[in-house]
Structure 1
Amino acid sequence: MSENIQKSYQELVELKFQLYNSLFLTLPLDAIEQTGLLLPLLQEACSSGLEKEKSPEQIITDFFQEHKSHFTEEEQITFLFKVIQYVERQIVLIDALEEAAYNKIHRISDSDSWSRISNKVKRRRMEEQAEQVMKSFGVRVVLTAHPTQFYPGAVLAIASDLKTSIENGDVALSRDLLQQLGKTAFYKKQKPTAYSEALSLMWYLSNVFYPAVGELMDKIEQDFPQEEGQENQLVKLGFWPGGDRDGNPFVKVDTTLKVAEKLRFNIIACYSQDIKELKRRLSFKVISDILEQLDTDFINELTGKSNSSKLNINYLIERINEIERLLIKDHQSLFLGKLQNFKRKVKSFGFYFASIDIRQDSRMIGKAFLALVEQNPELLPSNWEQLSTELQLDFLLSPKESIQWKPLEDDVLQDTLESFGVIQKIQEKNGEAGAHRYIISNCRGSLDIAKVKALAHWCAWGNQKLSVDIAPLFETVDDLSGAGESMQEIYQNKNYQIHLEQRKMQQTVMLGFSDGTKDGGYLTANWSILKAKEQMTAVSRKNQVEVLFFDGRGGPPARGGGNAHMFYSAMGKQVESQQIQMTVQGQTISSHYGIKEAAVHNLSHLLTAGIENNLFNKASAELNQEQRSLMEKLSESSFEKYEALKQDPLFIPFLEERSTLKYYGMANIGSRPSKRGKSEGLVFEDLRAIPFVGAWSQLKQNVPGFYGLGTALEQENDRDQLTACKQLYQESIFFKALISNSMQSMSKTNFALTAYMKDDPKFGSFWTMIYNEYLLTKKLVLEISGQHELLEDNARSRKSIQLREKVVLPLLSIQQYALIQIQKIKEGNNSPFVKEYEKMVMRSLFGNINASRNSV
Structure 2
Amino acid sequence: MSDPRIETEPEAIRPLRDDIRFLGEVLGDTIRDHEGPEVFDLIERVRKEAFRIRREEVDRSAVAEMLRGVDVAVAIPLIRAFSYFVLLANLAEDLQRDRRRAVHIGAGEPPQDSSLAATYRKLDAAALDGPTVADLLSDALVAPVITAHPTETRRRTVFDGQARITELMRQRGRFAEGERERAALELDIRRQVLALWRTALIRLARLRIQDEIAVGLRYYELTLFDVIPAINAEVRAALRARWPGVELLRRPILRPGSWIGGDRDGNPFVTAEVVRTAAGQAASVAFERYLRELAELEKVLAQSARLVPVSERVAGLAAAGYPEQETHADEPYRRALHAIRNRLTATALRALGTAPVHGSDVGAEPYDTPQQALDDLDAVDESMRAAGDGLLADDRLAALRFALETFGFHLQSLDMRQNSEVHEQVVAEILAWAGVHADYPSLPEDERVALLAAELRTRRPLLGPHAALSEKATQELGIVRAAAEVIATFGAEAVPNYIISMCTSVSDMLEAAVLLKEAGILEPGSPASSPVGIVPLFETIEDLAAGATTLAAALDVPVYRELVAGAGMRQEIMLGYSDSNKDGGYLAANWALYRAELELVEVARETGIRLRLFHGRGGTVGRGGGRSYDAILAQPAGAVRGALRLTEQGEVIAAKYAEPGAAHRNLESLIAGTLESTLLDVEGLGPAAEPSYELMDELAARARAAYAALVHDEPGFVEYFRQSTPVAEVGDLNIGSRPASRKPTNSVSDLRAIPWVMAWSQARVMLPGWYGTGTALEQWVDGDPDRLAVLTELYRRWPFFRTVLSNLAQVLAKTDLAIAERYAELVTDAALRERIFGMIRDEHARTIRMHAAVTGNDHLLADNASLAESIHNRFPYLEPLNQMQVELLRRLRAGDDQELVKRGILLTMNGLATALRNSG
Which secondary structure does the structure 2 equivalent of 1:666 belong to? coil
Deviation at residue 824 of structure 1 after TM alignment: 3.3
Which secondary structure does the structure 1 equivalent of 2:143 belong to? strand
Cα distance change on mapping 1:22 and 1:131 into 2, 3 Å: farther
The partner residue of 1:92 within 69, 78, 87 is 87
* Kept after mapping to 2: 8 A contact 1:245/1:251: yes
- Per-residue Cα deviation, 1:213-246 (whole angstroms, up to 9, x for no partner): 1332243244234988964321010111111101
The partner residue of 1:233 within 229, 241, 252 is 252
Deviation at residue 512 of structure 1 after TM alignment: 0.5
Alignment of 1:228-267 (within 5 A): 231-267=250-286
Which secondary structure does the structure 1 equivalent of 2:535 belong to? strand
Alignment of 1:513-524 (within 5 A): 513-524=577-588
The partner residue of 2:768 within 704, 709, 713 is 704
Aligned to 1:68: none
Deviation at residue 139 of structure 1 after TM alignment: 0.6
Cα distance change on mapping 1:728 and 1:411 into 2, 3 Å: same
* Kept after mapping to 1: 8 A contact 2:484/2:519: no
Of residues 695-704 and 174-183 in structure 1, the stretch that sits farther from structure 2 once superposed is: 174-183
Aligned to 2:153: 150
Aligned to 1:67: none
Which secondary structure does the structure 2 equivalent of 1:378 belong to? coil
* Matched-pair identity in %: 22
Cα distance change on mapping 1:377 and 1:801 into 2, 3 Å: farther
Alignment of 1:265-664 (within 5 A): 265-284=284-303, 285-297=331-343, 301-303=355-357, 306=362, 309-310=366-367, 312-338=369-395, 339-378=397-436, 385=443, 388=447, 391-392=450-451, 394-402=453-461, 403-404=463-464, 410-461=470-521, 463=523, 465-620=529-684, 624-646=689-711, 647-664=713-730
* Kept after mapping to 2: 8 A contact 1:571/1:621: no
- Per-residue Cα deviation, 1:409-448 (whole angstroms, up to 9, x for no partner): 7544322222221221111222111112111111111110
Q: 2:189, 2:74 → 1: CA distance?
A: 26
Deviation at residue 516 of structure 1 after TM alignment: 0.7
Aligned to 1:205: 220
Aligned to 2:321: none
Q: 1:222, 1:87 → 2: CA distance?
A: 48
Deviation at residue 193 of structure 1 after TM alignment: 0.6
Q: 2:466, 2:775 → 1: CA distance?
A: 56
- Per-residue Cα deviation, 1:267-295 (whole angstroms, up to 9, x for no partner): 12222333244334322231111222334
* Kept after mapping to 2: 8 A contact 1:247/1:676: yes
Deviation at residue 383 of structure 1 after TM alignment: 12
Deviation at residue 377 of structure 1 after TM alignment: 2.3
* Kept after mapping to 1: 8 A contact 2:586/2:770: yes
Which secondary structure does the structure 1 equivalent of 2:574 belong to? strand
Aligned to 1:773: 843
Q: 2:548, 2:702 → 1: CA distance?
A: 24
The partner residue of 2:199 within 184, 192, 197 is 184
Q: 2:137, 2:497 → 1: CA distance?
A: 23
Aligned to 1:753: 819
Deviation at residue 785 of structure 1 after TM alignment: 1.0
Aligned to 1:725: 791
Which secondary structure does the structure 1 equivalent of 2:436 belong to? helix
Which secondary structure does the structure 1 equivalent of 2:165 belong to? helix
Q: 2:479, 2:916 → 1: CA distance?
A: 35
* Kept after mapping to 1: 8 A contact 2:633/2:683: no
Q: 1:430, 1:160 → 2: CA distance?
A: 33
Cα distance change on mapping 1:140 and 1:509 into 2, 3 Å: same
- Per-residue Cα deviation, 1:672-694 (whole angstroms, up to 9, x for no partner): 000001x3x41222110000011
1:76 equivalenced with 2:91 (yes/no): no
Cα distance change on mapping 1:311 and 1:95 into 2, 3 Å: farther
Amino acid across the alignment from 1:391: A
Aligned to 1:25: 28
* Kept after mapping to 2: 8 A contact 1:102/1:598: no
Q: 1:88, 1:469 → 2: CA distance?
A: 44
* Kept after mapping to 1: 8 A contact 2:913/2:919: no
Alignment of 1:814-833 (within 5 A): 814-825=884-895, 831=896, 833=897
Cα distance change on mapping 1:801 and 1:46 into 2, 3 Å: closer
Deviation at residue 801 of structure 1 after TM alignment: 2.9
Cα distance change on mapping 1:104 and 1:127 into 2, 3 Å: farther
Aligned to 1:69: none
Q: 1:323, 1:162 → 2: CA distance?
A: 41
* Kept after mapping to 2: 8 A contact 1:729/1:735: yes
Q: 2:193, 2:115 → 1: CA distance?
A: 35
Q: 1:319, 1:154 → 2: CA distance?
A: 41
* Kept after mapping to 2: 8 A contact 1:757/1:763: no
* Kept after mapping to 1: 8 A contact 2:79/2:907: yes
Cα distance change on mapping 1:136 and 1:378 into 2, 3 Å: closer
Q: 1:152, 1:748 → 2: CA distance?
A: 24
Q: 2:737, 2:211 → 1: CA distance?
A: 9
- Where in structure 2 are there 5+ consecutive unaligned residues? 1-8, 106-110, 173-184, 304-330, 350-354
* Kept after mapping to 1: 8 A contact 2:230/2:402: no
- Where in structure 1 are there 5+ consecutive unaligned residues? 1-5, 65-72, 826-830
Cα distance change on mapping 1:34 and 1:131 into 2, 3 Å: farther
Deviation at residue 177 of structure 1 after TM alignment: 1.1
- The TM-score normalised by the length of structure 2 is 0.86
- Per-residue Cα deviation, 1:603-647 (whole angstroms, up to 9, x for no partner): 111112111122222352666122112111110110000011112
**Between Structure 1 and Structure 2, how many residues are aligned?**
833
Q: 1:407, 1:14 → 2: CA distance?
A: 68
- The TM-score normalised by the length of structure 1 is 0.92
Cα distance change on mapping 1:389 and 1:378 into 2, 3 Å: closer
Aligned to 1:16: 19
CA RMSD in angstroms, aligned pairs only: 2.7
Amino acid across the alignment from 2:635: M
Larger Rg: 2
Aligned to 1:789: 859
Aligned to 1:798: 868
Which secondary structure does the structure 1 equivalent of 2:622 belong to? helix
Which secondary structure does the structure 2 equivalent of 1:851 belong to? helix
Of residues 757-766 and 704-713 in structure 1, the stretch that sits farther from structure 2 once superposed is: 757-766
Q: 2:438, 2:532 → 1: CA distance?
A: 23
